[in-house]
Amino acid sequence: AQKITQTQPGMFVQEKEAVTLDCTYDTSDPSYGLFWYKQPSSGEMIFLIYQGSYDQQNATEGRYSLNFQKARKSANLVISASQLGDSAMYFCAMREGDGNQFYFGTGTSLTVIP
Amino acid sequence: NAGVTQTPKFRVLKTGQSMTLLCAQDMNHEYMYWYRQDPGMGLRLIHYSVGEGTTAKGEVPDGYNVSRLKKQNFLLGLESAAPSQTSVYFCASSGGAAQDVYEQYFGPGTRLTVT
């Protein structure tokens, strides 16, 4: 089974609107961490936001927030007030347990329309 | 502060040739990782290291070897390159459990083509 599933290969959003990128995960370990990364067309991987499995509140970083629904095993990324520079690939990832392995989803391509 | 650097940025190999990719980080991170990225498949972990002198296999280790002789460096070797190893390779580092910092910082990537 896939550890990380991103079901939206491509998404479009109007500039200044909010967008939600979906991510579901699969683990039986009670301790884990969830991450979102951005990969622009230039190719580098940029860390956006982190949520620990024991964190009580949803993580937020500026315009990024992580909608963490533990019972549903989902960790959706919400980008508010989209900007043209947000156009990129977005990857959801998980660190399982105390482990050192990370699992990445296949990514969602986001295009922001002026 | 350079962060994570990778050498080289591009390389073309012929089948059967060998090469080493170098990753260096200046953040004093304990953990280092090598990934490959293929179209439609996200990033897959090849090998990782939790400290100087230690290495472990990831999800797709076959055909690769690694070494971590110094804390700041993590080398990825291809002993006999195959066309299936054509990919973009990313190195990453993180503080890990010891530093309670789990987010990974990535290098710029190495684009490898095996003909």
- Report the residue of chain A nearest B58, measured CA to CA: A101
pLDDT value at B96 more than 80: no
DSSP helix/strand/coil, A86: helix
pLDDT at site B97: 67
Percentage of residues of chain B with pLDDT beyond 90: 82
pLDDT at site A72: 96
- DSSP 8-state assignment for residue B84: G
Greatest mean pLDDT among A19-23, A53-57, B25-29: A19-23
Q: Angle at CA A93, nearest 5°, toward A37 and B70?
A: 85
pLDDT at site A71: 94
C-alpha torsion B103→B109→B110→B112, nearest 10: 90
Distance of CA A6 to the CA centre of its chain: 9
- Report the residue of chain B nearest A42, measured CA to CA: B108
Q: Residue A2's pLDDT band (boundaries 50, 70, 90)?
A: confident
Q: Write the pLDDT tens digit of every residue in A57-114.
A: 999 999 999 999 999 999 999 999 999 999 999 999 999 876 677 899 999 999 999 9
DSSP helix/strand/coil, B49: strand
> Hey, of A94, A100, A101, which one would you mutate to test binding to chain B, going by the most B CBs within 10 A of its CB?
A100
Beta strands (DSSP E) in A9-53 are 10-14, 19-21, 24-25, 32-39, 46-52
Mean pLDDT lowest among A91-95, B38-42, B65-69, B74-78: B38-42
pLDDT value at A56 more than 80: yes
Q: Write the pLDDT tens digit of every residue in B5-60.
A: 999 999 999 999 999 999 999 999 999 999 999 987 789 999 999 899 999 999 89
pLDDT at site A59: 94
Q: Do residues B58 and B18 lie in contact, with contact meaning Cβ atoms separated by under 8 Å?
A: no
CB of B88 less than 8 A from some CB of A? yes
pLDDT value at A10 more than 90: yes
pLDDT at site B85: 97
CB of A106 less than 8 A from some CB of B? yes
pLDDT at site A48: 95
- Calpha distance A74→B30 (Å, rounded): 29
CB of A41 less than 8 A from some CB of B? no
Q: Residue B1's pLDDT band (boundaries 50, 70, 90)?
A: low
- Mention every residue, 6+ apart, whose C-beta is less than 8 A from residue B20: B75, B76, B77, B78
Q: Do residues B41 and B16 lie in contact, with contact meaning Cβ atoms separated by under 8 Å?
A: no
- Calpha distance B14→B111 (Å, rounded): 14
